Structure 1
Amino acid sequence: MSVVNISMGQLVTSIAGRDEMQIYLVVGVQNNKNLLLVNGRDRKIMNPKRKNIRHVNVLNSIAKSVADKIQTGTKVTDEEVRHAIQVLYKPENL
């Protein structure tokens, strides 16, 4: 999988490491192989988790409101991230 296929605000799940099966939103990309991930609880927007792209499962859902704020440089809150994950992570959206 390439970073080109991943959008800001996209929902992913971790498939390797201590955080296996955790749900995150993508808030950044580093050097075309690492993603910056947040969930609003353990990994807040001020301290995103860096994770190799090979260690995540990319889901089809994208948090448009969070993605728009990231693209425009507007501040994103942890509450917005938690709400977006709660709304998007449902069986009918996956």
Structure 2
Amino acid sequence: MHKTFIVVGILNNEYVYISDGELRRIEKPKKKKVKHLNFTGTVAEEIRDIILSKKDVTNSKIKIFLQSADIGKEV
């Protein structure tokens, strides 16, 4: 089973920071190699806008988006 995360930061061309709002909270995101990730192409517009405006993203916003987006869920 694969877990779904949101990219919450970009370190460089090889690494990004990911969070799911639960296990990997926004305060301590996981540093992950890009080549080990499968991207869905889905953009969390609201979360992206918060990050770009330099405001704090909450774990609850990340969890709500991941639950409502049906990303990676098998039918």
Normalization by structure 1: what TM-score?
0.72
RMSD: 1.4
* Matching of residue 61 in structure 1 with residue 48 in structure 2: no
What is the deviation of 1:90?
4.5
* Matching of residue 24 in structure 1 with residue 5 in structure 2: yes
What is the deviation of 1:31?
2.1
% identical aligned pairs: 26
Contact 2:4 2:71 in 1 (8 A): no
Contact 2:21 2:60 in 1 (8 A): yes
Q: Which has the higher strand share?
A: 1
Aligned residues: 72
Give 1:44's aligned residue. 25
Gaps of 5+ in 2: none
Q: Following the alignment from structure 1 to structure 2, what is the Cα–Cα distance between the partners of residues 74 and 24? A: 20
Normalization by structure 2: what TM-score?
0.89
